[in-house]
Amino acid sequence: MPLRNGSAISSVLVDFRKESLLTQSCQQWHSRDLPDDSLPVSILDFHALNTISTPAARKTLTVALIGNPNVGKSTLFNALAGMQARVGNYPGVTVEKKIGRVKWSSSDVRLVDLPGTYSLSPRSLDELVTVEVLLGQVADIGLPDVVVCIADATNLERNLYLVSQVLDLKLPCVLVLNMWDQAHKRGIQIDIAELERRIGVPIVPTAAHHREGTNKLEEAVQRALSKPVPAPPRPFAEPFYRECELLSQQLKEWGQADVPFFLVERLLLDVGGTIENLFASRTHNQLNGYLHAARERLKEQNCRIPAAEAKVRYAWARETLRGLVETPVQKAVSFSDRLDAILTHRIVGLMIFAALMFFVFLSIYKWAEPLMGIIETGQELLGDTIAASIAPGAFRSLLVDGLVAGVGSVIVFVPQIAFLFFFIAVLEDCGYMSRAAFLMDKIMTMFGLGGKSFVPLMSSFACAVPGIMATRVIENRRDRVVTILVAPLMSCSARLPVYVMLTSAFVPAASYLGGLITLKSLVMFFMLSIGLIVAMGVVWVLKKTFFKGETPPFVMELPPYKWPSPRIVLFRVYDRVKAFVVRAGTLIFATTILVWAAGYFPGDRTEYERIQAQIEEHEAQPSSDGEPNAMLPTLYEAQNRIAGELIEQSLLGRMGHIIEPAVKPLGWDWKIGVGVIASFPAREVIIATLGTIYSLGSDVGEEDTNLQSALKAARWPDGSPVYTIPVALSVMVFFALCAQCAATLMIIRRETNSWRWPIFTFVYMTVLAYVAAWVTYQAGTALMS
């Protein structure tokens, strides 16, 4: 359900906290995704809390930023840190870690942008990481000196729920009332001085979107450090705190000493939560029975767990704000409501969303092409320049076909990534993305995913690399990982040359409905659709096996509409492009070099290089009549013939012969096998590889009639044709479903922070592609016999 600003949220959040919906996903995460010696166990290492240096002993001030989603936390972080932010992942998990280093007048400051969260009840990976950082359990961050809690000034009561939990940590704290400009526009008046007195922490009003008030944050942080830490709110009744003290004593008897009081509270409040599961494993499962009895005692004293937490914390928030916030009587139907009536309409809204997504897809697929063409042209010019200045040989091939091609294979994705994240940033910053997720949620839920999975999957039809990077908009970890795992199944543009080549050469030119529909177009449509069809089945299997658990309730706040900030949009584009080039790009580059080496060595290239030198000499000296030198066609033919022999002698060629028995049931010979292996850096490379193998050169295209003729003329030793319609369909189906893209696998490694998932993706997609190709070939052959 979407929640608009000003909605009655308290009752919704009470249900949202109920164990029946969220406990299972938490237990699933604990039992399957992370072993006992991984990240969460560090939350039990309480002795480390006593060894972390105190703020006074450190030269760098650590300031952690925390807040609900859609309150402008990351916008404030970017306004403070600018280009000095460093993006990575927390150890062993997929949660993004953003750290910025800035210089304030009194000290160096390290800003930590924590994941957006509604609560410090760690039922998700994001919330668990946030708790670990705030407890000082992340080694390279340590205990924060100050926690800056960002709240939405237009919805202060709801935001104080998280603030009350942060205050329980007994750390110096600053409260930032962001979206102050929006509050003024709505006529909302807040008595900041009195609110600061009641809560006991410095308060700073800001409009981070326009960088207003951010300069006052430094002074507020210094004030928070110089004054005593305020006492926690203690919103619960005294029986609850007595049970906490009894539980703390019991934990000591079980050998769990020095447990922070905050975690003792969470043990009682989070039924079946991550912390309870972790402690249970350390107390030989004695804890579960004790907690059940403690909660029963609290229930008898009118303190029902877990519903009590939302009740008492919102009561504390209302009491804290009593008489301090003046809100004018709003119109029955606001402009935002009228706009939402159109944009979230089940028919009109979907039509508008479809038009927007077509526009975004067009930008990725078509508008990026000229820029990608410029990059490819620059790559060719650089390669030609190097080739003209260095004699033929291994070193020149390494530079031109290895280094330059490797860099080009990274940079060529930048236009698509930039366009995609430009539109995502615009749609997020103006407030539409939440509406889009709401619209698509019902449809995507039928397939086991949430509404936010639609944009990444649609983007993957252009290229899986930006599509997988776009999954960062998905907060639910299970949905995000599943979306990443099926995104490569979408038929990206790199598969198109393979479809065009084989469809043009082998699919008959039959037509139907008076020529309106052709058999070739039907085959192309099927190849472009098969990945999406199969992906829905894969999602169902993944959700029934590795990612069990109910789909979490769709609870999303619809933020107010606003004009997107050009500074914020451009910064997000820069941030995503930089992350791709620096982190994933290095892995893609390394893979390209390895494939080049496998195709170059071993082999005696003396004759090839001699002919290459002659070709360059003749090209530099055309005949007297201005026509190309008559010797060139003969030299080209000889060079192409030798190149075909060399690739068969290379490691790639030998691997092709080795796998020939495995691919023969698909109707393939060793040459197709070599093409498949060589296309690992990029699927379309198979065209150039087949051109080289069939002695036509590597500069052939998918519509080259000479290549098509060579494929038709290819024969098995018994004289039967290698390529038939079933073989062509088999190759296309394999490429539609396989993971033949190093860039995609490297970006999965980058986004999941683990080799486990790219290996899993490669294995399951390769097996799936092999089986589908085998069925296609065998069934096609049987039908045509």
Which is higher by pLDDT, 188 or 516?
188
Closest CA to 683 of 749, 738, 751, 758: 738
Distance CA 706, CA 690 (A): 11
DSSP 609-664: HHHHHHHHHHHHS--TTSSPPTTHHHHHHHHHHHHHHHHHHSHHHHHHHHHHHHHG
Angle at 446 between CA 440 and CA 452, to 5 degrees: 35
Cα separation, 251 vs 274, in Å, equals 17
Whether the Cβ atoms of residue 49 and residue 131 lie closer than 8 Å to each other = no
Place of tokens 């198109």: 496
Evaluate whether 666 touches 774 at the Cβ level (below 8 Å). yes
Highest mean pLDDT among 254-263, 292-301, 325-334, 613-622: 292-301
Neighbour count for residue 773 (Cβ, 10 Å) = 27
Q: What is the mean pLDDT of residues 169-190?
A: 90
The pLDDT score that the predictor gives to residue 627 is: 62
Least confident of 283-292, 374-383, 407-416: 407-416
| CA quadruple 623, 628, 630, 632: dihedral sign | positive
Measured at the CA of 674, the angle between CA 673 and CA 680, to 5 degrees, comes to 100
Element (DSSP H or E) covering residue 578: helix 566-579
Query: Secondary structure of 377-402 in the HEC alphabet?
Result: HHHHHHHHHHHHHCCCCHHHHHHHHH
When pLDDT is averaged across residues 435-457 and rounded to a whole number, the result is: 78
Q: Given its phi and psi angles, is residue 316 left (phi above 0), alpha (psi -120 to 50 degrees) or beta?
A: alpha
Side-chain half-sphere of 726: how many Cα atoms within 13 Å?
A: 20
Nearest to 298 by CA among 265, 268, 331: 268
Q: Which letter does DSSP use for residue 364 in this model? A: I
> Which of the pair, 585 or 519, is modelled with greater confidence?
519
Measured over the CA atoms of residue 330, residue 332, residue 338 and residue 340, the dihedral's sign is positive
Neighbours of 51 (CB within 10 A): 8
Residues 6+ apart with CB under 8 A from 268: 240, 243, 244, 247, 291, 294, 295, 298, 305
- Which of 466, 468, 503 lies closest to 484 in space, CA to CA? 468
User: Please, which pLDDT band fits residue 51 given cuts at 50, 70 and 90?
Assistant: very low
**C-alpha closest to that of 775 among 718, 716, 733:** 733
Mean pLDDT score, 659-667 = 89
* Range list of H helices, 446-518: 454-459, 464-469, 477-486, 496-506
Nearest CA among 552, 572, 313 for reference residue 427: 572
What are the two backbone dihedrals, phi and then psi, of residue 149, each rounded to the nearest 5 degrees?
-100, 115
Q: Is the pLDDT of residue 150 over 90?
A: yes
pLDDT tens per residue, range 112-123: 988 888 888 876
Return the minimum-mean-pLDDT range out of 80-84, 208-212, 367-371: 80-84
In this predicted structure, what is the pLDDT of residue 195? Answer: 93
> What's the mean per-residue pLDDT of the chain?
78
Specify whether the CB–CB gap between 184 and 213 falls below 8 A: no
137-170: burial string, b at 16+ Cβ within 10 Å, e else: bbeebbbbbbbbbbbbbbbbebbbbbbbbbbbbe
Rounded CA-CA distance 464/4 in Å is 33
Residue 162 has pLDDT above 60, yes or no: yes
- pLDDT at residue 90 tops 60: no
**Each residue of 206-230: pLDDT tens digit?**
998 888 888 899 899 999 998 888 8
Cα 762 to Cα 741: distance, rounded to the nearest angstrom: 9
Mean predicted confidence (pLDDT) in 53-72: 74
Straight-line distance from the first to the last Cα atom of the chain, in angstroms, rounded to the nearest whole number: 56
Q: Decide: helix, strand or coil at residue 498.
A: helix
In the structure encoding, which two tokens stand for residue 81, read together? Answer: 């840190």
**Residues 1, 369: Cα–Cα separation, whole Å:** 39
> Residues 6 or more apart from 487 whose CB is under 8 A from it?
456, 457, 460, 464, 467, 468, 471
Q: Classify residue 582 by its DSSP letter.
A: I
pLDDT at 153 over 70: yes
- Give 48's pLDDT tier (boundaries 50, 70, 90): very low
Bigger pLDDT: 46 or 490? Answer: 490
Instruction: Look at 39-48, 92-101, 651-660 and tell me which has the smallest mean pLDDT.
Output: 39-48
> What's the rounded Cα separation, in Å, for the pair 100 and 423?
25
Rounded CA-CA distance 81/173 in Å is 19
At residue 18, the pLDDT reads 32
| pLDDT over threshold 90, residue 54 | no
Residue 608 confidence (pLDDT) above 80: no
Cis (ω within 30 of 0) for the bond into 233? no
Torsion, Cα of 163, 169, 175, 178 (10° steps): -50
Residue 571 has pLDDT above 70, yes or no: yes
Residue 174 has what pLDDT? 94
Contact predicate 122/33, CB 8 Å: no
Q: Which of 217-226, 373-382, 390-399 has the highest mean pLDDT?
A: 217-226
Angle CA(297)–CA(298)–CA(303) in degrees, nearest 5?
A: 155
CA distances in angstroms from 301 to 96, 264, 304, listed in the order given:
42, 19, 8
Per the DSSP assignment, residues forming a β-bridge with 518 are 511
- Confidence at 35, pLDDT banded by 50, 70, 90: very low
With 90 as the cut, is the pLDDT of residue 759 above it? yes
Q: What is the pLDDT of residues 712-751, one digit of tens each?
A: 878 888 888 888 999 999 999 998 898 878 878 888 988 8
768: pLDDT strictly greater than 60: yes
pLDDT of 542 strictly over 50: yes
Residue whose pair of structure tokens reads 């030269």 in the numeric block: 59
Structure tokens at 700: 């052939």
Q: What is the pTM of this model?
A: 0.63
CA distance 459 to 469: 10
Q: Are 429 and 569 in contact (CB under 8 A)?
A: yes
The answer, yes or no, to whether residue 494 has pLDDT greater than 80, is no
Say what percent of the chain tops pLDDT 90.
14
pLDDT at 144: 92
Confidence (pLDDT) at 192: 92
Sign of CA dihedral 387, 393, 396, 398: positive
* Preceding peptide of 508 cis, ω within 30°: no
pLDDT of residue 772: 94
Band (pLDDT 50/70/90 cuts) for residue 551 is low
Q: What pLDDT is recorded for position 86?
A: 59
User: Which of 162-171, 282-291, 312-321, 620-629 is the least confident region?
Assistant: 620-629
How far, in Å, CA of 597 to CA of 610, rounded? 21
What's the mean pLDDT in 340-363? 82
Q: What is the pLDDT of residue 777?
A: 92
Range in 132-141, 337-346, 459-468, 768-777 with the lowest mean pLDDT: 459-468
- Cβ atoms of residues 359 and 369 within 8 Å: no
Q: Is 17 helix (H, G, I), strand (E, B) or coil?
A: coil
Beta bridge partners of 700: none
pLDDT at 132: 85
**Closest alpha carbon to 266 in 40, 71, 65:** 40
Which of 57-61, 92-96, 698-702 is predicted least confidently?
92-96
Q: Can you tell me which residue has the tokens 């037509």?
A: 511
Confidence (pLDDT) at 333:
66
Indicate if the pLDDT at residue 631 is higher than 80.
no
SS3 category, 99: strand
Rounded-to-integer distance, Cα 487 and Cα 494, Å = 14
pLDDT value at 87 more than 60: no
Q: How far, CA to CA in Å, does 221 sit from each of 107, 133, 171, 203, 218?
A: 11, 18, 12, 10, 5
CA 589 to chain centre: 20
Mean pLDDT of 269-289: 79
Q: Would you place residue 47 in the very low, low, confident or very high pLDDT band (cuts 50, 70, 90)?
A: very low
**What's the pLDDT at 41?**
42
Q: Which range among 11-20, 112-121, 206-215, 235-244 shows the weakest confidence by mean pLDDT? A: 11-20
318 vs 694: which has the higher pLDDT = 318
For 117, the token pair is 């969260």
User: Looking at the predicted structure, is the pLDDT value of residue 5 above 50?
Assistant: no
Helix (H, G, I), strand (E, B) or coil at 196: helix
**What are the angstrom distances between the C-alpha of 64 and each of 110, 143, 223, 266, 499?**
8, 9, 16, 21, 51
Question: What pLDDT sits at residue 434?
Answer: 77
Angle, helices 348-362 vs 335-343, to 10°: value is 80
